[in-house]
Structure 1
Amino acid sequence: MPRNSGLYNAVLFLILCSIIGGCQKTIDPTPDDLAYFPLQTGDYWIYQVTQENYSLTTAATTRVFQLQEKIGSSFTRNGQLFFQIEESTRKSEKSDWQISAIRTVYKNPSEVVIQDNNVPTVSLIFPILATTSWNVNTYNARPDTLLQYKDIGRSFTVNKLKFDQTVSVIGPSDSTLIGLDKYRRVYASNVGLIYRENASLAYCQSSPDCIGKGIIASGTTQKWELVASNRLP
Structure 2
Amino acid sequence: MIRITFFILVLIACLSCKRDDDSVPALTGIEYFPTDSGSYRIYDVRFIQYDNDTIDSTYQMREVIHDTFYFNNTLVYELYRYYRANETQPWQSQPDSVWSFTTDHNQITIQEISNSFVRLVFPLSNGEVWDANTKNVFLRDDVTATNVGKPYTVNNVYFPETCNVIEEQSKNLVYKDYRNRVYAKNIGMIYKRYEFLSYNTSDEFIGQDKVDFGSIREEKLVAYGKP
Give ranges in structure 2 of 5+ residues lacking alignment.
Answer: 1-20
Query: Deviations for 1:56-82, whole angstroms, at most 9, x for unmatched residues?
Result: x32x22101000000111112344321
Kindly provide the CA deviation profile for residues 132-161 of structure 1, in whole angstroms up to 9, marking residues without a partner as x: 211111011112111110111110010121
Aligned to 2:225: 230
Q: How many residues align?
A: 201
Q: Which residue of 1 aligns with 2:167?
A: 171
The answer to whether 1:36 aligns with 2:29 is no
Q: Report what 1:216 is aligned to.
A: 211
2:117 pairs with 1:121: yes
The match for 2:188 among 182, 186, 192 is 192
Q: How big is the shift at 1:116? A: 2.3
What is the DSSP-based 3-state SS (H/G/I as helix, E as strand, rest coil) of the residue aligned with 1:35?
helix
Task: Structure 1: state its 5+ residue gaps.
Answer: 1-24
Amino acid at match of 1:132: E
Q: CA RMSD in A?
A: 1.9
CA distance in 2, matches of 1:157, 1:71: 24
Structure 2 matches for 1:1-233, cutoff 5 A?
A: 32-55=28-51, 57-58=52-53, 60-98=54-92, 99-108=95-104, 110-205=106-201, 207-230=202-225
- Output the CA distance in 2 between the equivalents of 1:160 and 1:36: 20
- State the AA in 1 paired with 2:150: R
Q: Helix, strand or coil: the match of 1:173?
A: strand
Amino acid at match of 1:86: Y
Instruction: Determine the C-alpha separation between the residues in 2 that align with 1:131 and 1:116.
Output: 25
AA aligned opposite 2:205: C
Listed one character per residue, the Cα deviations across residues 162-187 of structure 1 (whole Å, up to 9, x for unaligned) are 10000010012101111111110100
Identity of aligned residues (%): 28
- TM-score (norm. length: structure 2): 0.83
Say if 1:54 and 1:218, in contact at 8 Å, map to a contact too. yes
Corresponding letter in the other structure for 1:223: E
SS in 1 for 2:30: helix
SS at 2:140's partner residue? coil
Give the C-alpha shift of residue 30 in structure 1.
9.9
* 1:34–1:109 CA contact under 8 A, matched in 2: no
What CA distance in whole angstroms lies between the structure 2 residues aligned with 1:37 and 1:230?
Answer: 13
